[in-house]
Every structure is written in structure tokens, then in C-alpha cells.
Amino acid sequence: MANGANAVLVGIRRRGPATGSGAARRVRGDGPLAAVAVLFTLAQLALVRPVLGLGWDETVYVSQVTSHTPAAFFSAPRSRGVSLLVAPVASWSSSTPLLRVYLALLSGLALFLALRAWRGLFPTRVLAAAGALFASLWVTLFYGPQAMPNYWVAIGALVCAGCFLRYRARGSGRAALGGVAAGAALMAWMRPTDAVWTTVPLFLLVLVAAGRHWRLLLALAGGLAAGAVPWVIEAYAAHGGLAERLAEASRIQGGLGWQIAVDDQLRSLGGRALCRPCTGSMPHPLVALWWFVLPVLAALGLAVAVRARRAARTLVPLACAVTAALPYLFMIGYAAPRFLLPAYALLALPVADALWHLVTGPGGRWRPVAAALVALGLLGHLAVQFAVLERTVDRNTDSRRDWARTADGLHRLGVRPPCLITGHEAIPIGFYTGCSSANTHGHNANTTAADILRAARRVPVAALTAPGGTPPAYARSWPVHRVQGLQVRVAPAAARD
């Protein structure tokens, strides 16, 4: 009996220090990842600035949950995930700076958790470098604090793929299964079609395993279903069914099919939020250089992983990055740099692994040379990214201030809530004015001329026409004014009287 008690005590003593040292190792391992997340958050607040007004798509998402502005038309491709994400702030406050700070903090925390999902699959230094590479891209910094879905799809992709590999490596673990389901749900919550494309390699791996990882299959499918349920329900409630909504979304996006958009994505690298139609000139070669270096380094990272006999943990994020990028490179007729954020997040892992190999791999006198070249390349890369970010922020700040000035001009003309805005840029200007927005044609068509004329009998209605544009027939007799270069026709008050 005494021997049994001594054995238990010895076992406790042996396990005690190991537990403590394990916790200490976890804390030390999390430190670099937390530092990257904190720096990412601070960079957003300093470089993008919380005073940046809401963009076009942001006004659509935010208007769904705020009580300060009528909800804008919600087209078929959109999902409610972003609206729910901003609801804790937007539902009670109209402060854009407060919303920006909230999103910057949330995006920094999300990056930390996403990188942590890969602990044990890559060394901490590789994970920290991958996080820094992804976080320092101008497109990541610009969209991190914005009410847009693509950054969150990227986070979901990182969590899902990382936890998927953790579960396969161990063969068990509820936390890993929960991470797979949560990552898949987050992606589907934000953009269901992106979630499907990104998880194709994961489903293929599970199916090839011939039932050995059926729990992974349930977690993946369950996560996607849970995230996509609201979108599917809305498809039947407001779009005539799932097939009809998908077809409508394809039509709004110009018709999905074989369309090479690689050159469009290249043009957007200079800071264009939306390249539609994408007819501008190509950016400076230095601006686009990183885009061509990225797949080369990713391939080197795969070669390093194969040589070290750990190919799966590199091949999975590479495959998911390829399928995530595929529709935006070859199936759509326009471009936006944010579309590729999930691919950039996944590629950052093998790229960081390759960079560390270049720095530490060569022996003797070549190691300092390789380290110096990598450091020089990264410094140049950062300089380019921050230069593009600065121009992008300035350009978007000016355009959003124009919407605010237009709203002030409309207020002076008597167009105040409750009111209705139609025509050129009706959705963002309507949001800034506090009015409903409506259009009779285009991707956001949601009303008829007869409905607008009926509304003009009850509330102030303004029809906006771009310089050189043709006003709608029903508003040609309305008094015309000039506001911020736009032709503004306001329905006569007599009609309401």
C-alpha cells in the first residue's frame, strides 16, 4: 500500500513539472504570434485610420443592422455574415471610427487565433513570419478594419485547413474537429461559394482516406451547412430558390464561366478597389513583382517540405489556395484585389517556410549573403506595399468625403429623412444622406418608375445623374441642381402636397 502511494506521488511529481514547462512553452510559442497580431492591429489604426468613411459595399452591409439608415438593396451574391459581424457596434452607434476600431481589434485577434491553429505543424518562427507577410500586404491592411467579407474568409480558411491537418496528424481531438467546423462555417457565413471552392482539396483528401476520417467529413460538411443555412433560406424566401439565386448572382457578376482575369488582377494591384471594367494600364513592375515571386517561393516551400518528409502540411494550404483563387483568376470578368485574400493567407505559410530555408539553409559564407538578399527583398516589398496602401487610403478617403459632401448638399435642398435617392451611386449617397435608395435598372434594380413617383408624393425624392449622363424620363421635368458635379433633380414639393 505504501509502495502504491509512493508510486502515485512520484507520478504526480513527475507530471507536475512537465505540465508547467508545457504551459511555459505554449506561452513562449504564442508570444511571437501575439506580437504579429498586435502590430497588425496598430498598423491598421495608424495607416488606414479609423476616420475613413464607409465604402459602397460597406454601406450595404452596415445598413442591414443599423437603426440610423434604411437598409439598402441586398443583391443575390451577398451574404449576411458581415452584417452580423458588425451588429454589436452598428446596431446602436452610427460612429464610423468606433466601427473601424472594433473591426481592427477583432481582425488582429482573429489573425492570432488563425496562426495558432497551425501550432505544431510549422515552427513558431515560420508561423510568425507567415502572419507578418500576410498582414503587411496593403490589401490585408486596407480591408482588415473594413466591413467586408474577404478577410474573414481568409481567416476561416487558415483555421479550417490548420485544424484539419492537426486532426489528421493525431487521429483524434475534439478541439481540432471544432476548429474545422468553425473555420468552414465562418467562410460559408461570409461567402458560401468561396467556402466551397476553398474546401474542395480537404473534401478530396477525406474521400481518398476511404472512411478513415469520417469525423472530418462530418465537421467539414456540417460547418459549411451551418454557415450557409441563412443564405440558402434567403434564397428560397426572396430569390425563388437556390438555383435561381445562384443564376442571379452569376448574372450580376457578369456571367461566371471561362474568363481569364489574371491580367485584371494584375491591374488591380496598384490599389484599385474594384477593376470593372478593367481597362486601365498595368501598375509599375515593382508594384507587381511580389505577385510573380509569390508562386515561386511557394513552390520552393513545397520542395523544402518534400525533402524534409512533411509534404502534407505544405501541400494542403497550397492546394486550398489554388482552388480559392481559381474562380477569381479564370471564371470572372473583372477583378478586385480583396478576392484573393484567402489565397494569400494560405500561401503565406509555404512562402515563409521557403524564406526561412533561404536564410538558414546555405552553409558557410553563403548564409550571410542569402540572409542579406532576403532582408533586402523584404524591405523593398514592405516599401512598395506601404506606398500602395497610402495612395489607396488617400483615394478612398477623397471619394467617401465626396459622398458626405453630396449628402450635405442634398440636405440643403430639403432632401432629409425620410427620403429616397435614386440614380447614380444611389446606395452610398443614400446611406450618407440617411435616405432609402432605389434603382430601376442595373445590378441593384429593386423598384420601378411608378413606385418612385408614388414615393415622391410622400417623401422628398432626388434623382442623381453623373456628368454627361441622361436623367430618367420620369424626373426630367423636376427642378435640377448641381451638387459635387452631379445633376440632382428633386421632386417638386407640390407633388407631395
| pLDDT tens for each residue of 110-125 | 999 999 999 999 999 9
Same domain, 200 and 341: yes
Same domain, 107 and 188: yes
19 within domain boundaries? yes
Q: What is the reported pLDDT for 16? A: 40
**Identity of the amino acid at 216:** L
256-272 pLDDT tens trace: 888 889 999 999 999 98
For the chain, helix (H) and strand (E) counts, in that order, are 19, 5
Strand order in the sheet with 480-483: 436-438, 420-423, 461-465, 486-490, 480-483
Question: Which of 24-38, 299-313, 341-355, 401-415 has the weakest average pLDDT?
Answer: 24-38
Same domain, 285 and 424: no
Same domain, 273 and 345: yes
Question: Which of 93-107, 169-183, 352-366, 424-438 has the weakest average pLDDT?
Answer: 352-366
Taking the C-alpha atoms of residue 438 and residue 422, their distance in angstroms, rounded to an integer, is 5
Taking the C-alpha atoms of residue 322 and residue 305, their distance in angstroms, rounded to an integer, is 18
Q: What is the reported pLDDT for 25? A: 59
pLDDT over threshold 80, residue 293: yes
Q: What is the reported pLDDT for 212? A: 73
Please name the residue that has the C-alpha cell 452610398.
428
Q: What is the reported pLDDT for 241? A: 95
Same domain, 116 and 170: yes
Which residues, at least 6 apart from 143, have a Cβ–Cβ distance to it below 8 Å? 150, 151, 338, 341
pLDDT over threshold 60, residue 280: yes
Which residues, at least 6 apart from 416, have a Cβ–Cβ distance to it below 8 Å? 433, 434, 460
447 within domain boundaries? yes
pLDDT over threshold 70, residue 447: yes
pLDDT over threshold 70, residue 390: yes
94 within domain boundaries? yes
Same domain, 420 and 307: no
Same domain, 407 and 349: no
Would you place residue 26 in the very low, low, confident or very high pLDDT band (cuts 50, 70, 90)? low
Q: Would you state the torsion angle of the CA atoms of residues 379, 381, 383, 385, taken in this order, to the nearest 10 degrees?
A: -150
Would you place residue 213 in the very low, low, confident or very high pLDDT band (cuts 50, 70, 90)? confident
**Nearest alpha carbon to residue 145 among 101, 188, 111:** 101
Same domain, 346 and 479: no
384 within domain boundaries? no
Residue 277: Cβ within 10 Å count: 9
Taking the C-alpha atoms of residue 132 and residue 348, their distance in angstroms, rounded to an integer, is 9
Total count of domains within the chain: 2
The residue segments making up the domain with residue 223 are 2-360
Q: Rounded mean pLDDT of 459-487?
A: 95
More confident residue, 220 or 212: 220
Q: What are phi and psi of 275, to 5 degrees?
A: -115, 80
Which residues, at least 6 apart from 20, have a Cβ–Cβ distance to it below 8 Å? none
Taking the C-alpha atoms of residue 298 and residue 350, their distance in angstroms, rounded to an integer, is 5
383 within domain boundaries? no
Domain stops at, among 360, 380, 410:
360
Mean residue pLDDT of the chain comes to 91
259 within domain boundaries? yes
Same domain, 329 and 448: no
**Nearest alpha carbon to residue 77 among 57, 55, 97:** 57
More confident residue, 378 or 169: 378
Same domain, 310 and 256: yes
393 within domain boundaries? no
pLDDT over threshold 50, residue 470: yes
pLDDT over threshold 90, residue 79: yes
pLDDT cut 70: percent of the chain above it: 92
27-48 pLDDT tens trace: 667 899 999 999 999 999 999 9
370 within domain boundaries? no
- Which cell numbers in the block locate residue 324? 480559392
Taking the C-alpha atoms of residue 344 and residue 141, their distance in angstroms, rounded to an integer, is 13
| Maximum Cα–Cα distance across the chain | 102
- Which cell numbers in the block locate residue 217? 467529413
Would you place residue 84 in the very low, low, confident or very high pLDDT band (cuts 50, 70, 90)? very high
40-73 pLDDT tens trace: 999 999 999 999 999 999 999 999 999 999 999 9
pLDDT over threshold 90, residue 379: yes
